Amino acid sequence: MKVLLLNPPGAQPFIRDYYCSKVSKSNYLFQPIDLVMQSGILAGRHQITVCDAIADKLTAEETLERVRCCAPDAIVSLAGSVCLYDDLDFLERAARHGGTLLVSGDAFLEEPSCWLESYPFLDGILLDFTSDDILSFLDGNRRGAASIVSRDSDTAYQRPRGQEFSIPVPRHELFTSPNYRFPFVRQREFATVLSDFGCPYRCSFCIMASLGYRYRPAANMLEELRYLKGLGIRELFFIDQSYGVRRDKALELCEAMAREQLGFGWVCYSRVDLVDRELLEAMKRAGCHTIIFGVESASSLILEQYQKGYTQEDVLKTFRLCRSCGIRTVATFIIGLPEETRQTALETINFLKKIDCDFASFNIAVPRAGTELRQNAIRDGLVSEQVTVMDQSGTSIAMDTHHLSSAEIGQLKQRALRTFYLRPSYLLRRLAGIRSWYELTEQLREGFHLLRNH
């Protein structure tokens, strides 16, 4: 079969992958991991074409023309809450030129059968983009494809927790747009990789807590990394939600990467209570130069309420440890959770200065489908059940808190951005930390877009 992996066009630089759609804050865009993973799974049996209309800046008409030329037997497309109804309108048009249409995206995780009922041009919804169920589905065995919801599905999908999985090497060479950029990588040639899926933690605002948890053995990852090295890739973005959940696997992979001298620089997400000196040093030896940590809030009440499972002391300790190991840090924050007050937001902004991180990123709380946060916000009247379009980057704010209006939330986010990024000492340190010409040009570009969007 001819299978088209599609990232639909959009009016803004939308990021739609990994069930977490948003507007790119400073025009960065990485290879969409749902499609990257599916490319490896499908390539052994089918002919794959990739069309990333966001990366290639295609209009709807140009994208439709590509779909027409490809004449696919099946389309696997992303769609995101951030631009849901535009995506659905586009997919309805695309479906006229392709056979079977499968979709992967955050909006569809809650009540997927209802979406299929309302949008008859959708044939299936992927609940796990790392699964090879798509092969059975395309062979006509829809009931055998447990992680794909279709009109023929008859049971709810039980998500695996704590199991190992291997995948064929993804076809990274199909994701070649020069417009893929990520602010924390240090060379242009980078790829997005995934060594586990989902997250075993229970932070109740986060969709990842509902995805189960599976991990890849180091040998399976290494096969992919050797392939990437052969393609000339020099930097990696590990999009694992918390690198080091399986400490033994993380150490094994780092040791193998260092032993084989793969020579990648890399960036990952982790949790402040997952890393210690031994793991950080192993990661550093394997090429890790930047870690992104969710700090979320300076309020102990909010951290407890959302089951983060760590304290501000843990945050400070881990950020210091990273600095002493020579690893850069990115702190991410959420402003606008229902308990947020002006006071807690200001405490968070003050805390930000204490952490001594290299970069900071500010998100707005969103009532994403499938989260406990959404259920509670609907129950408390903070958001209506009908709200399915939202953006954690804050281009629009989907819900008030119990104490703040959306306008006040937006102002506090802008204040946090200004407080962090417009300090002369910070700007000087950031310039001093630049290691390559690519990094310099990208940092200037990011800064420009961040200020413009601000």
Residue 199 interacting with ligand SF4 (CB under 6 A): yes
Q: What is the dihedral of CA 95, 101, 107, 110, to 10 degrees?
A: 130
CB 422 within 8 A of CB 433: no
**What is the rounded CA–CA span in Å between residue 137 and residue 38?**
13
AA letter at 10: G
Residue 42 interacting with ligand SF4 (CB under 6 A): no
Residue 180 interacting with ligand SF4 (CB under 6 A): no
Smallest gap from residue 158 Cβ to ligand SF4 (A):
19
**What is the rounded CA–CA span in Å between residue 77 and residue 94?**
10
Per CB under 6 A, the segment of 35-43, 65-73, 200-208, 280-288 that binds ligand SF4 is 200-208
* CB-nearer residue toward ligand SF4: 214 or 271: 271
Residue 241 interacting with ligand SF4 (CB under 6 A): yes
Smallest gap from residue 183 Cβ to ligand SF4 (A):
19
- For ligand SF4, how many residues bind (rule: CB under 6 A)? 10
- Rule CB under 6 A: choose which of 40, 294, 338, 410 binds ligand SF4: 294
**For residue 410, what is the enclosing H or E element?**
helix 406-421
DSSP letters along 188-254, please? S-EEEE-SEEE-S---TT-GGGGS-EEE--HHHHHHHHHHHHHTT--EEEE--SSTTSSHHHHHHHH
Which CB contacts under 8 angstroms, 24+ apart, belong to 418-427?
Answer: 418/454, 419/349, 419/352, 419/353, 420/352, 420/353, 420/360, 421/360, 421/447, 421/450
**What is the rounded CA–CA span in Å between residue 65 and residue 69?**
6
- Rule CB under 6 A: choose which of 54, 208, 298, 399 binds ligand SF4: 208
Quote the longest CA-to-CA distance of the chain. Answer: 61
Per CB under 6 A, the segment of 74-82, 131-139, 195-203, 317-325 that binds ligand SF4 is 195-203
Instruction: Annotate each residue in 112-141 with x if it binds ligand SF4 (CB under 6 A) or - if it does not, as one string.
Output: ------------------------------
- Rule CB under 6 A: choose which of 26, 242, 297, 344 binds ligand SF4: 242
Q: Using CB under 6 A, which residues numbered 258 to 287 contact ligand SF4?
A: 271
CB 122 within 8 A of CB 113: no
Smallest gap from residue 118 Cβ to ligand SF4 (A):
28
Residue 244 interacting with ligand SF4 (CB under 6 A): no
Per CB under 6 A, the segment of 33-41, 204-212, 332-340, 375-383 that binds ligand SF4 is 204-212
Residues in contact with ligand SF4 by CB under 6 A are: 199, 201, 203, 206, 208-209, 241-242, 271, 294
